[in-house]
A and B are shown apart, each in its own frame.
Chain A
Amino acid sequence: MSTSSKYRMKKEEVFKIVGMHCANCAVTIQKSLEKVGVKASVSLASEEAKVAYDPETIPPKKILEAVRRAGYDIYKEEIIFVVEGLASAEDDSLVERRLSTVEGVLDVSSNHALKTIKIVFNPLTTNPQELRRAVEELGLKIVKEQVEEEVEDIGRMLLERENRILRNLLLIATPPTAVLLILTYIAPLIPPLAEFAESYFAKNILGFILATPAMAAGSYRFLRTGIRALLNLAPNMDSLVTLGTFSAYIFSILVSLGLVAGEVFYEAGAAVMTFILLGKYLESRMKLRTGEAVRKLMELQAKTARVIRDGREVEVPIDQVKVKDIVVVRPGEKIPVDGVVKSGRGYVDESMITGEPVPVEKNPGDPVVAGTILTRGSLTISVTRVGKETVLGQIIKLVRTAQSSKPKIQAMVDKVSGYFTWIVITIAISAFIVWYFIVGVPLWLATIFAVSVLVIACPCALGLATPMAIIVGFGRAAVNGILIKDPSVVDKLPKINYVIFDKTGTLTEGKPKVRRIAVVDKDLDENEILRLAASAELKSEHPLAQAIISEAKERGLEVKEPEEFDSLSGMGVLARVNGSYIGVGNIKLVKGLEAKLNGAESIASEIMNDGLTAVYVVKDGSVVAVLGIGDDLKPGAKEVVSYLKSKNIKVAILTGDTRTTAMAIARRLGVDEVIAEAMPEEKVEKVKEVQNRGFRVAMVGDGINDAAALTQADVGIAVGSATDIAKEAGDVIVLRKDIYGVIDVFEIVNVVRKKAMQNLFWAFIYNVTLIPIAAGVLYPAYKIILKPEFAGLAMALSSVSVTTWALTLKRWKPKRR
């Protein structure tokens, strides 16, 4: 490791800030940065922050967090290196430690299971070339570099190659080792062979000849990586295996040559190598299976599409389809792109994306997504997104990213296992010293104890425990329409004790309808009021406006463009229709206009007590009507609330509605608390308030409109549409429209966490009980020696079992309702 100039000292760095729009922002960011001890000057004009800090004391991650806390973000880029030579969790922690000191690096996440190193960096300070050099300086070979794409394929290719190599090595090692084991353990029991088996020739010469192929095969896999890690002063499992087996092997050679007195045990080194190769082989086979979820998603992508070119239908490879092309899809075919139906009609099976089992009817104007299947009918589609921009592409990218980052528990384990190998080496040396020099057992026996300790210790089971559970579990969740973006939900979700639901569109269908029209000014009739209100709302995109407009259209009323229009968020709209000054909105709008109420208040409170939203219609300074607008609850909303309450989680509804309306709905659902009359921009504050009361909050809402609140919450769960995943906030995205997905999020995360913890627990127990036995603590009392070959078998089985246990997660299914 060199310490060239790019390793930073006290320094100045420029960050590009995203989301600044007024001078106030600059001050906010500056203050937030100063709070973490960073001197900063933020410029609105260039949208840049010049930051002076000491990276020794303030990691750049802190700066990123501070900017985010202020509600903005740093512009950063991401690169993924697929590398050869990442063997273990210890390597991961070493790589992360070293690379995070490289200038401009904001975050590093290394994953030996996927063979990837993900680096988030500040493109103003460093570039991919420099990062590439830094990675190579660590002795890793970069197979491929990418800005996210096809990682799965490359990772898989590497895994397949490793699998093949291990199989070949096993074929070399196994036959001679088997003969050697028969010669050592079985032959002495058969009288005609016993004498031969005990001979110098059999024990020494044949032993050496039979053991050597296995040692050579094992060395090919473990020696180089093991020694390199040792030289990096970060020994890993390969180092332990190398040290253990070669101690046994070399000791035996020295005995055979008569240089040291004692007994040979060639079988130990050979058997350990063979068993560990077998363990690695089984593990790599299972790792190949863990990536299935993403591969399944990738297989949903059609390879070709039928495109209209020059008025004719031509079949072209999928990567030649461009946005705005017209694609023709026939029944039974996969829809190859994201787009909008241009003509035709049909039923589309979207279950692979949304989990929704019933095919959805598609008419002109409806959106369709790639990977879904047209079951009936025929469609021509105008292409809006292709390739990795499609919803499917975004899902694949997201699942991969989540699978390759790791939660806190694992980061901790990685750190521990870094020390673990040192501890094991120390124990092995101490065992040797104590047995040979203090107790005075023969040299060969002392060597066996030391070798067994080195061989049985299995840091890799610790290192595999969580990543395996996450890769399998998150993959399984994705296939069922649940995208876990941030793996730290595994740490956070189980601690959540307060869930806030955004009402509209989350607990309710989000399709409000006009249920009641209470006329206050008897000079006007219902239809006249609707016509005025709908015309005033014509340019508004608010769901309540849509309800009024569609009611007016259903009644066949003539809705006109307003002459003037203004909308006030959290209040309503003001417009001029046919020369009259019309206001449509809540009580705040009425008060702001200082309009005459004409007794409308008591009508409104009656409407609200029924759980409807009261919308006032004001004409030229006086209230003329109150509309009652209601939205159906989603099926399952009640079950989700009672599920959460059964887990001792408090549940609240967050809404812009009045308290009375919200309470009426809360009563129907059994919700504990109501956070009402929240303006859209206040949602973040409301979440903060609950957090300040000491709760750990999960927010369930719309990934786009509630983005800030989802980010503020400890865990943000975005529920809803599979339209544009990249733009959605939230740590978890539920693609299914039904609200039951929220239960599944809690369930799958719990299962993943449980598996990870069980794995860690067993790996820990395994090491804590077997290492002392290997070191010989049971020898004085019971004469128990754990021979290295059995130690090797135990160790191979332990890492295999960790992977197997994680794979049982594949059976997880969302509750069918």
Chain B
Amino acid sequence: MATDPVCGMEVDPSTAQFKTLYKGKIYYFCSSHCKVAFEKDPETYLREGPKGMPEHHH
């Protein structure tokens, strides 16, 4: 099990749909919102840990 670096949820890497590559490492997310949030500012999440569900707008 991997941990979504944004919301802290557990994600199964073998089924996860939302992933990204950062500094040679693959990160898995529960949703595209978390992924987008991470890609905007990966360092903060990696440094400060998960922050919960990001607020998103439609």
Q: Does B53 contact A (CB under 8 A)?
A: yes
Q: Is the CB of B24 within 8 A of A593?
A: yes
Within 8 A of A (CB), among B1-28: 13, 17, 19-24, 26
A70-B26 in contact given A566-B19, A568-B19, A569-B17 (Cβ < 8 Å): no
A589 vs chain B, min Cβ distance (A)? 6
Q: Is the CB of B31 within 8 A of A24?
A: yes
Q: Does A500 contact B (CB under 8 A)?
A: no
Q: Is the CB of B58 within 8 A of A70?
A: yes
Rounded to whole angstroms, the CA-CA distance of A22 and B24 in the bound complex is 28
The residue in chain A whose Cβ has the minimal distance to the Cβ of B23 is: A594
A-B contact count (CB 8 A): 40
A135 vs chain B, min Cβ distance (A)? 38
Proximity string of chain A (593-606) to chain B, C-beta cutoff 8 Å, 1 when within and 0 when not: 11000000000000
Q: Does A403 contact B (CB under 8 A)?
A: no
Residues of chain B contacted by A574 (CB below 8 angstroms): 21, 26
Q: Which label, helix, strand, loop or mixed, suits the secondary structure of the B interface?
A: loop
Q: Is the CB of B31 within 8 A of A571?
A: no
Rounded to whole angstroms, the CA-CA distance of A571 and B22 in the bound complex is 12
Q: Is the CB of A568 within 8 A of B53?
A: no
Residues of chain B contacted by A528 (CB below 8 angstroms): none
Q: Is the CB of B26 within 8 A of A566?
A: yes
B41 vs chain A, min Cβ distance (A)? 15
Q: Choose from A24, A70, A589, A621 the contact partner of B53 (Cβ within 8 Å).
A: A24
Proximity string of chain A (671-702) to chain B, C-beta cutoff 8 Å, 1 when within and 0 when not: 00000000001000000000000000000000
Q: Is the CB of A592 within 8 A of B17?
A: no
A568-B17 in contact given A22-B31, A24-B31 (Cβ < 8 Å): no
Rounded to whole angstroms, the CA-CA distance of A23 and B13 in the bound complex is 19
B10 vs chain A, min Cβ distance (A)? 12
Q: How large is the interface on A (under 10, 10 to 19, 20 to 34, 35 or more residues)?
A: 20 to 34
Residues of chain B contacted by A589 (CB below 8 angstroms): 21
Q: Is the CB of B31 within 8 A of A592?
A: no
Q: Does A301 contact B (CB under 8 A)?
A: no
The residue in chain A whose Cβ has the minimal distance to the Cβ of B55 is: A27
Q: Is the CB of B58 within 8 A of A594?
A: no
Q: Is the CB of B58 within 8 A of A32?
A: yes
Rounded to whole angstroms, the CA-CA distance of A681 and B32 in the bound complex is 8
Q: Is the CB of A571 within 8 A of B21?
A: yes
Rounded to whole angstroms, the CA-CA distance of A719 and B49 in the bound complex is 45
B43 vs chain A, min Cβ distance (A)? 14
B26 vs chain A, min Cβ distance (A)? 6
Residues of chain A contacted by B32 (CB below 8 angstroms): 681
Q: Is the CB of B33 within 8 A of A568?
A: no
Residues of chain B contacted by A566 (CB below 8 angstroms): 13, 19, 26
Rounded to whole angstroms, the CA-CA distance of A618 and B26 in the bound complex is 16
A24-B33 in contact given A70-B58, A566-B19, A569-B17 (Cβ < 8 Å): yes
B35 vs chain A, min Cβ distance (A)? 9
Within 8 A of B (CB), among A549-576: 566, 568-569, 571, 574
Q: Is the CB of A22 within 8 A of B30?
A: yes
A28-B24 in contact given A566-B19, A568-B19, A681-B32 (Cβ < 8 Å): no
Q: Would you list 18 pairs from A and B whose C-beta atoms are within 8 A, ordered by A residue?
A: A23-B53, A24-B53, A27-B53, A31-B58, A69-B58, A70-B58, A566-B13, A566-B19, A566-B26, A568-B20, A568-B21, A571-B20, A574-B21, A588-B21, A592-B21, A592-B22, A592-B24, A593-B24
Q: Which residues of A contact B (CB under 8 A)?
A: 22-24, 27-28, 31-32, 69-70, 566, 568-569, 571, 574, 588-589, 592-594, 621, 681
User: Other CB < 8 Å A-B pairs besides A23-B53, A592-B20, A592-B24, 12 of them?
Assistant: A24-B30, A28-B58, A69-B58, A70-B58, A566-B26, A568-B19, A568-B21, A569-B17, A571-B20, A574-B26, A621-B24, A681-B32
